[in-house]
């Protein structure tokens, strides 16, 4: 198994944490692959009903039906994972998208452009759900 390198930029925008990841440079991916991940803490029942999805067991593991989540991510949401909420900890989900589609082939991205996309996504979430997504909305 070969090790793969990735660069990660982490930031917080209006109280919500996000990451920008660039990885996968190879002969097959000469520009690499870019991803954005938004982390949401589930601090109340309203947000839990929307974002804490039920899992479905499939042949290759666990999957979630995340395609209709109310989140405005460039190129659509392509990743959902539960990264908290185990053993009594605060529930947290990681929502992501990628820029590795056929319609992205003619465009070169950088962390500055993805920062704008991530912050737009967070602004949209806060416009829709306001204090329910921040500590102000904690029960």
Q: Which residues of 78-110 are buried (b: 16+ CB within 10 A; e: fewer)?
A: bebebeeeeeeeebbbbbbbbbbeeebeeeebe
Task: State pLDDT tens for residues 62-74.
Answer: 999 999 999 989 8
Residue 132: strand, helix, or coil? helix
Q: How many CA atoms lie within 13 A of 5 on its CB side?
A: 4
Alpha-carbon span 114 to 96, nearest angstrom = 12
Give backbone dihedrals phi and psi of 65, rounded to 5 degrees, phi first: -90, 85
- For 26-68, the pLDDT digits (tens) are 777 777 889 999 999 998 999 999 999 999 999 999 999 999 9
CA of residue 5 relative to chain centroid, distance: 20
Percent of all residues in the chain with a pLDDT value above 90, rounded to a whole number: 58
pLDDT of 83 over the 70 cut? yes
Reported as type and span, the H/E element at residue 124 is: helix 111-129
Task: Enumerate the domain spans of the chain.
Answer: 6-137
pLDDT tens, position by position, 110-119: 899 999 999 9
Choose between 3 and 68: higher pLDDT. Answer: 68
Residue from 137, 1, 129, 21 nearest 79 by CA: 21
pLDDT grade, residue 125 (50/70/90)?
Answer: very high
């Amino acid at each position: 198994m070969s090790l793969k390198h990735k660069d990660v930029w982490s930031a917080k925008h209006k109280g919500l944490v996000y990451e920008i990841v660039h990885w996968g440079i190879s002969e097959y991916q000469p520009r690499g692959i870019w991803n954005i991940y938004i982390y949401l803490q589930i601090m109340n029942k309203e947000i839990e009903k929307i974002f804490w999805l039920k899992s479905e067991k499939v042949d290759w593991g666990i999957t979630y039906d995340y395609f209709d989540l109310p989140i405005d991510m460039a190129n659509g949401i392509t990743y959902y994972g539960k990264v908290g909420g185990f053993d009594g900890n605060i529930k947290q989900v990681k929502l992501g998208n990628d820029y590795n589609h056929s319609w992205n082939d003619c465009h070169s991205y950088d962390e500055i452009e993805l920062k704008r996309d991530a912050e737009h996504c967070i602004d949209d979430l806060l416009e829709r759900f306001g204090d329910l997504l921040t500590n102000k909305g904690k029960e």
